[in-house]
Amino acid sequence: MRKIAVAKGDGIGPEIMDAVLKIFYDAKVPLEYVTVEMGKWVFDKGFNNGMTPEAKQTIEDLGILFKGPMETPKGKGVKSINVTARKTWNTYANIRTFQTLHGVDTVFSKAGIPIDVTVVRENIEDTYGGVEHMLTHDVALSRRFITRPGSLQVIKYAFEMAKKKNAKRITCGHKANIMKITDGLFLEVFYEVAKDYPELRSDDVIVDDLCMKLVTRPDAFDVVVLTNLQGDIVSDLCAGLVGGLGFAPSANIGDHICIFEAVHGTAPDIAGKNIANPTALLLSGIGMLRHLGFMESAVSIENSLLYTLEQGIHTGDFGDKSKPAVNTTDFAKAIINNFGKQPEQGAKTLLNDAPVTETHFRLEKNSMMESKESESEKIIGVDFFIESNEQPITIATKCLRHAGVKFKLINISNRGTQVWPTGSVYTNLVNQYNVRFESIDDTPLKQQDVLGLYVSLSGDFKICSSELLLLLGDKRAYSLAQGQ
């Protein structure tokens, strides 16, 4: 028997988890379940990460967590339990597969347009790092981390997964036309990896254009890989194409620990009424069975689910309203009673199952991910983010006094738009500027030079934050202001 950790979740979580585990039990899946304490009620007991130390240890020992939907308390300054779990255990790839389910009517199913899209979302970095600061009482900053090793992890996984499922196309969704360094790095890594998979058609689409294309021709896409925040938005958009989050399975894949979960809400308004739809959690569980190598069980249960949906059996949130809805328990019983039956459309076979992907072993220390440095690195300037409600020319006059013999003032921007040495009086300002100093003739600087300028400039301004300007090889590793 294979042991896995189970967290039933909040709201409707316990009842849909019980329904899914009953299906697994009757299908004789060789699993043993170790219940762990996670969720809002654990926050309420004083555990700020939403799980007990015993739960954390159990999950790390077993390597698999199967979880229901969980709520994070609002207004208490605590992080989302879902995001915390994914990041703590480095489940770097979030996989969501969106397929047409016969019996779940959508505009596309009625039009006869089949959907089979897999979204691979980077799961650790981006704005989900949650590193935020108030720079002034009017200005908030969120830092967006995109790393080469992190991008390589998830993009490599996406290509391997696309290869195993015999995909024809893999698409990188991005905003590199605006975020040229962060999204630019993600896109650069995508095409570096693509060279190793010539059998796949690899292309990229700007994320806003991608959203438009997904809602007009979703059948044109196969596998889509994106950064964290963009992937979050696009995956929910895709859920809407196939009937909603109630039909969207989710897997969070790491090298050592994996999480399979329902990503819909806890629905406290119907909790305890035994009317919730367990399909999303069941589909996530089927993905977990495949991951664990229980292929026959996965195929049998999924075919039974598809057959049940084809028969028009449904909970109250979907389906033919002329047919009475069943409750959660009866929906699970219907699936159990249909074991061994084949749906007319979309039947699964062992031949279309991907190979086992599970790996789990104990680590003794944190892994350091670092790519080989291939270019020389030089400090050639600094951006200081200062607080001021003065006009740009006044700020420039003060800054020029501090430049000294090693620095020159290059430009001043406000919210990313240049306001000095050129600009427009029609540019609205906030009380936080970026003043950029570069070294004269790009002469390499030391951190001590930058600190000296920091001390000097702080005599006139509150310095909220600063960033070094780097030259990597012959490439400037920082963005220009709009209008610069």
Can you read off the two tokens belonging to residue 393? 């020319």
409/88 Cα distance (integer angstroms): 42
228 in any annotated domain: no
The mean per-residue pLDDT over the stretch 107-125 comes to: 94
428 in any annotated domain: yes
Pairing relationship of beta strands 432-439 and 417-420 according to DSSP bridges: unpaired
Q: Contact, 329 vs 278, CB < 8 A?
A: no
221/219 Cα distance (integer angstroms): 5
Q: Contact, 420 vs 411, CB < 8 A?
A: yes
Residues 54-77: tens digit of each pLDDT? 999 999 999 999 999 998 776 556
Q: Is 145 helix (H, G, I), strand (E, B) or coil?
A: strand
214/402 Cα distance (integer angstroms): 52
Is residue 292's pLDDT more than 70?
yes
Residue 322 or 190, more confident? 190
pLDDT of res. 356? 57
Domain that holds residue 404: 377-476
Please provide the DSSP assignment of 62-120 as one string: H-EEEE----PPTTS----HHHHHHHHTT--EEEEEEE--TTS--HHHHTT---EEEEE
Q: Kindly give, in sequence order, each residue whose CB lies less than 8 Å from that of residue 178, ignoring residues fewer than 6 positions away.
A: none
The mean per-residue pLDDT over the stretch 399-407 comes to: 94
Count of domains forming the chain: 1
pLDDT of res. 298? 96
363 in any annotated domain: no
418 in any annotated domain: yes
Residues 295-336: tens digit of each pLDDT? 999 999 999 999 999 999 999 999 888 899 999 999 999 999
Peptide bond into 421 cis (omega under 30): yes
| Residue matched to tokens 């350091």 | 368
35 in any annotated domain: no
Residue 44: which pLDDT band, with cuts at 50, 70 and 90?
A: confident
433 in any annotated domain: yes
262 in any annotated domain: no
273/328 Cα distance (integer angstroms): 9
- Write the CATH number for 410: 3.30.70.1570
265 in any annotated domain: no
Backbone angles phi, psi at 32, to 5 degrees: -120, 130
pTM of the model: 0.91
Residues 330-367: tens digit of each pLDDT? 999 999 999 999 998 888 887 655 555 566 667 788 88
